[in-house]
Every structure is written in structure tokens, then in C-alpha cells.
Amino acid sequence: MTEVRAARSGASADDEHDPEGPTMTQEWSQRTAVLADARAELADIDHALARIADGTYGTCNKCGKRITVPRLEARPTAELCIDCARLAR
């Protein structure tokens, strides 16, 4: 990411740096999306850790029922039981 920022901010940055590869803009966009996804996942993990700390981990935020173990194993950051998650779609 640092390399892309440096190349993007350089006065001589050429958007078409490699005619056979992605443009700097495409590369920047992809890396920005990956970074946003990683930040969102980290926020979900932080929320799950907070629920563990306050004793509400494994409880559905919508209906208050227990979230099943298989769901938590598949998605440890789940805040909704499977029924409420389906309704939310």
C-alpha cells in the first residue's frame, strides 16, 4: 500500500505504468477495497471480543436467543441467530 501511495502521489506517476498490467488506478482501487474489508473484519472481531467481555457473546442481538454453536463455529463474529440473519436479508 505504501508503494502505491508513493507512486500515486509522485509528480511523474504514469497511470498506464505497465501497458500489459493493471493501471495504477485499478491497483489502488483493489488495494483500497482489500484494506476496507480487513478493517471491517477487524471491527467485527473487536465487537465479538467486547461481547465476550460483557457476557453477551453467543446471544442474538435481535431476538435475544442463543446463537447455535455450529453458526458461531462457521462465523465467530455472528451477532444474529440464523433465523434473524435470514430475515435481515
pTM tops 0.75: no
- The domain spans of the chain are 2-6+23-88
**pLDDT tens, position by position, 9-63:** 654 455 555 667 778 889 999 999 999 999 999 999 999 999 999 999 999 999 9
Q: What confidence score (pLDDT) does residue 11 get?
A: 47
Dist CA 29 CA 43 (whole Å): 21
> CA geometry: angle at 40 spanning 27 and 21, to 5°?
10
- 64: region left, alpha or beta (phi > 0 left; psi from -120 to 50 alpha): left
CATH architecture classification, 2-6+23-88: Up-down Bundle (1.20)
Dist CA 55 CA 65 (whole Å): 14
Q: What confidence score (pLDDT) does residue 59 get?
A: 98
**Cell output for 23:** 493501471
Dist CA 64 CA 56 (whole Å): 9
pLDDT surpassing 90 at residue 70: yes
